[in-house]
């Protein structure tokens, strides 16, 4: 399924129906009087947060949304039917912005409905205006227009753990090892073009969600590479796993690359550097990586990072990493809501 995390739409609530000007005209009833009915109210617009959705793809190919108009009033005091409401489904984690003012209207993280726009009111028919001094009113009210707005919807994934690092650091391989997620894995840069979510179950009952974020490069916070398009998906995570590839397949100095990635996170949003971060040395099944690991471990531990050495291919060190992540999340979010999706992961 295609991943879409930003769309622009124009939404409009329904217009109210107009009131009716009518008089009762029946045989043998000489004084019928006004009997024009009221118009129906226009339909409202609301957003429904659906946990079954993970992308804004359903809104990608339609730009305009409109609720139903109210029906017009009729004679014999018949009121018009209210317009059908419009409910737009969005995934959890959707932020709603006014596209003209850039104002954040709502941050939808929990299932439920958000009332967004009010439909127009139906006009009153002439029967409403009859008085003792004006027994035959010949006017009625038009319905009012429904509210309308241009919106920008942005999706920020809801995940407990974010995997960050240079392209080809082993993020996709790790998430495929610890969860039921099956991202595309290959040995060329930017294999991962969209974020992937995986549910990890630890200890038989504890679960957490891991987000595999496309690899970052220098200048990502300014839009280089995949740029800021996916940096926002790490904003909601509670813990970072920073994957470092010590093999010769990774261009540049791995330790320098580590600092570059953190700089990009800080430039995007300074609060990201305050989140806990574990350093994960990957591809430990390669001999040259094992030889370089001792120096790298010392480098990171001197800077206060907790370091793990793993091989996602052989699963060496992976169970210890998963256990440490689960323990850290229990401290960070002691009342975290359990996730029931996904398949159990066995080390």
Domain CATH number, residue 49: 2.70.210.12
In whole numbers, what is the pLDDT of the chain averaged over residues? 83
Order of strands across the sheet that contains 104-108 = 64-66, 6-12, 148-155, 94-98, 104-108
The strand order across the sheet containing 196-202 reads 196-202, 206-212, 161-165, 239-245, 277-282, 306-309
Instruction: Count up the domains in the chain and report the number.
Output: 2
Based on its alpha-carbon atoms, the radius of gyration of the chain, rounded to whole angstroms, reads: 29
pLDDT digits (tens, 9 = 90+) for 116-146: 999 999 999 999 999 988 988 999 999 999 9
Q: Are residues 102 and 247 in the same domain?
A: no
Picking from 136, 155, 174, the residue at the C-terminal end of a domain is 155
> Same structural domain for residues 138 and 231?
no
Q: What is the CATH number of the domain that holds 186?
A: 3.40.50.300
Hey, what are 305's tokens?
Answer: 């990072």
Quote the pTM value: 0.69
User: Residue 55, Cβ neighbours under 10 Å: how many?
Assistant: 19
* Mean pLDDT across 297-317: 92
Give the per-residue pLDDT at 194. Answer: 63
181 pLDDT exceeds 50? yes
pLDDT in tens, 145-166: 999 999 999 888 778 898 888 8
DSSP per-residue codes, 51-63: TT--SSGGGTT--
Its domain, for residue 6, covers: 1-155
Task: Specify the DSSP element, H or E, that contains 308.
Answer: strand 306-309
* DSSP-derived secondary structure for 72-131: PPBTTTBPPPPPPPEEEEE-TTEEEEETTT--EEEEE-SSEEEEEEPPPPPPPPGGGG--
């Amino acid at each position: 399924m295609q991943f879409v995390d930003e769309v622009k739409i124009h939404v409009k609530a329904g217009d109210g129906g107009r009131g009716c000007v009518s008089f009762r005209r029946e045989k043998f009833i000489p004084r019928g009087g006004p009997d024009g009915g009221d118009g129906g109210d226009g339909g409202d617009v609301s957003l429904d947060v659906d946990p079954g959705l993970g992308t804004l793809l359903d809104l990608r190919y339609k730009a305009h949304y409109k609720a139903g108009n109210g029906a017009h009033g009729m004679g014999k005091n018949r009121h018009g039917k209210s317009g059908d409401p419009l409910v737009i489904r969005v995934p959890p984690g959707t932020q709603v912005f006014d596209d003209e003012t850039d104002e954040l209207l709502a941050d939808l993280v929990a299932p439920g409905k958000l009332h967004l726009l009010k439909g127009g009111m139906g006009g009153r028919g002439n029967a409403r205006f009859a008085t003792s001094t004006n027994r035959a009113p010949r006017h009625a009210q038009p319905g009012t227009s429904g509210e309308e707005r241009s919106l920008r919807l942005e999706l920020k994934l809801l995940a407990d753990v974010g995997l960050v690092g240079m392209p080809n650091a082993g993020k996709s391989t790790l998430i495929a090892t610890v969860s039921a997620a099956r991202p595309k894995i290959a040995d060329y840069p930017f294999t991962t073009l969209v974020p992937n979510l995986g549910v990890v179950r630890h200890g038989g009952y504890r679960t957490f969600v891991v987000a595999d974020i496309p690899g970052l490069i220098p200048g990502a916070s300014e839009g280089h590479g995949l740029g800021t398009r996916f940096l926002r998906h790490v904003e909601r995570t509670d813990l970072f796993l920073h994957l470092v590839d010590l093999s010769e397949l990774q261009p540049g100095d791995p330790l320098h690359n580590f600092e570059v990635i953190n700089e990009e996170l800080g430039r995007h949003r300074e609060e990201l550097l305050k989140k806990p971060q574990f350093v994960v040395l990957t591809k430990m099944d390669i001999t040259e990586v094992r030889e370089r690991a001792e120096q790298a471990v010392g480098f990171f531990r001197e800077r206060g990072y907790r370091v793990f050495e793993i091989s996602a291919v052989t699963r060496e060190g992976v169970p210890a990493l998963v256990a440490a992540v689960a323990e850290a999340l229990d401290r960070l979010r002691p009342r975290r809501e359990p996730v029931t999706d996904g398949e159990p992961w066995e080390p």
